[in-house]
């Protein structure tokens, strides 16, 4: 049992190191405690967020999210998507199927000064590329809002 635990710890350390080496963004620890949006339902099957998702905003990002200005370095957003489950005629979150992260980093010029990263439901990097897989929509929909698409007015 002890051995199994230490192997898990080693795996976690190696995983983090590999992510850092590739210049990727790690899934922020404790994001579940950040400010959380109401459930956001998207019934368009062609949408990336088909399902029910929640957006989490950290303290650094919240000020700009409210005022609409540019975001300071280090600002973070996490969005967690679930499938849609019907329960007594209501749409409720089913299985978690995707986690995405945006972290402000001025050095990331190609993607509007943000690092975009995707994760599997259990928090492993899903190999998506910020420029290829993410930035297009954010550039198109929110160039004037520092590439943050959702609005604080719809948050809660
Ligand atoms: C097909 C278009 C599209 C693509 C591609 C896309 N997004 Fe988004 N993203 C959106 C939309 C629309 C929202 C706003 C959702 C809402 O209002 O609830 C959003 C919101 C977000 C948010 C919450 C902050 C914000 O901008 O409101 C994060 C974090 C995010 N996306 C990360 C990513 C990552 C990482 C990728 C690539 C893996 C990605 N997105 C690719 C359309 C897209």
**pLDDT band at 104, cuts 50/70/90?**
very high
- How many Å apart are CA 37 and CA 124, to the nearest integer? 23
Give the residue, out of 34, 40, 137, 155, with the most ligand 1 atoms within 8 A of its beta carbon, to mutate for a pocket test. Answer: 137
pLDDT value, residue 3: 55
pLDDT value, residue 4: 55
pLDDT value, residue 25: 86
Nearest atom of ligand 1 to the alpha carbon of 154 = 17
Short-list 129, 121, 98, 112, CA closest to 23: 129
Does the beta carbon of 137 lie inside 6 Å of ligand 1? yes
Give the residue, out of 48, 56, 101, 135, with the most ligand 1 atoms within 8 A of its beta carbon, to mutate for a pocket test. Answer: 48
pLDDT value, residue 72: 98
Rounded mean pLDDT, 88-98: 97
Residue labelled with tokens 């050095």 = 107
Does the beta carbon of 61 lie inside 6 Å of ligand 1? no
pLDDT value, residue 18: 46
* pLDDT tens track for 34-54: 999 999 999 999 999 999 999
- How many Å apart are CA 104 and CA 123, to the nearest integer? 20
């Amino acid at each position: 049992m002890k051995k199994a635990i230490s192997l898990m710890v080693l795996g976690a350390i190696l995983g983090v190191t590999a992510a850092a080496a590739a210049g990727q963004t790690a899934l922020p620890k404790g994001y579940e405690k950040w400010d959380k949006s109401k459930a956001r339902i998207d019934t368009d099957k062609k949408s990336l967020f088909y399902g029910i998702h929640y957006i989490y905003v950290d303290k650094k990002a919240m000020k700009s999210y409210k005022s609409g200005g540019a975001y300071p370095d280090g600002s973070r957003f996490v969005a967690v998507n679930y499938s849609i489950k019907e329960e007594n005629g209501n749409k409720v979150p089913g299985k978690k199927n995707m986690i995405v992260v945006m972290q402000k980093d001025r050095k990331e010029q190609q993607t509007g000064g943000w690092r975009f990263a995707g994760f599997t439901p259990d928090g492993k990097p899903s190999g998506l590329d910020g420029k290829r897989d993410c930035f297009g929509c954010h550039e198109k929909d929110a160039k004037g809002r520092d590439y943050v698409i959702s609005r604080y007015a719809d948050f809660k």
